[in-house]
Amino acid sequence: MLFLLSAGLTLVLGIMRFVNLAHGAFYMIGAYLAFTIELQAGSFVIGLLGSLAITALFGCVLERLLIERFYARGYLDQVLLSFGIVFFLNEMVRIIWGQLPLRAPIPDAFAGAVEIIPGMQYPAYRLLIIAVGLLVAFGLYILVARTRLGMLIRAGASDRMMLGALGVNVRRLFTVVFGIGAALAALAGTMAGPIFSVQIGMGEGVLVQALVIIVIGGIGSIRGAAIASVLVGIMDTSGRIVLPPAIAQISIYLLMAAVLFWRPRGLFPAHG
């Protein structure tokens, strides 16, 4: 789930140079939409697909109407805009769905456990999340490395002005990238819903971890986001087991500091 969230964020930050602190709000919106659609349709798959489509479309509209006006501004203006979007979306969710948290059901097909080794059971739904993360990582690799859109994305990350001079519609490209990022955040929120409660502000905590991940992995790097997600997940979980509570809470930040001391631009920077 950390990778699903950080992959979309690193695309937006690495390519569009936009500090989208509202990315966690798309995570929340995706979870609420999936819960509502699944409740009406009676299908987790329909809820998932509906959530991705609506959140991606909402992200594209928001980018065209508001966010694109801030690309040329400084990071402070972008951060203030992002916070404004977060507050607006939190209140919108409160008006539509209410204040109380919601509990999304685990799909019946993945409600049980799987014996991964003799005597050890592991929840089937968590295995599904791992499988989805691997599929998304492979899909993003194919998209970025093997398709024309991926070529344009990589070119936009390196030199957007030259890309526009060559006749590419950079504005439309940015809208597509932002929509993809919003859809990935919605996918993470949808998968997280049955494990954690679906509630207002649910994306704000994981957004901090996602920011740590893209700094460790390298801004704009999908490979870096994937590897850093595993490192942060292992560090966070093992730290809570073996380290004192005070140190465990800052373990991922110590990891980030160590990586930046060794490689200031992250493990796998996307471009020079």
pLDDT band per the 50, 70, 90 thresholds, residue 111: confident
Q: Tell whether the model's pLDDT for residue 272 goes beyond 70.
A: no
Extract the runs of DSSP E, i.e. beta strands, from 136-258.
none
197 and 190 in contact (C-beta within 8 Å)? no
Residue ranges covered by each domain of the chain: 2-203
Q: Alpha-carbon distance 56 to 262, whole Å?
A: 37
Amino acid at 92: M
pLDDT (mean) for 7-19? 83
What is the reported pTM? 0.90
Q: What is the pLDDT of residue 245?
A: 77
Please check the confidence at residue 271 and state whether its pLDDT lies above 60: no
Per residue in 150-198, pLDDT tens? Answer: 888 877 777 778 888 878 888 888 899 999 999 999 999 999 999 888 9
> 130: helix, coil or strand?
helix
pLDDT tens digits along 22-72: 999 999 999 999 999 999 998 999 999 999 999 999 999 999 999 988 888
In the chain the first and final C-alpha atoms are separated, in Å, by 28
Question: Is 50 exceeded by the pLDDT of residue 119?
Answer: yes
Please report, as a single letter, which amino acid is at residue 27.
Y
How far apart CA 29 and CA 192 sit, in angstroms, is: 12
Give the per-residue pLDDT at 48. Answer: 94
Q: What's the rounded Cα separation, in Å, for the pair 52 and 47?
A: 9
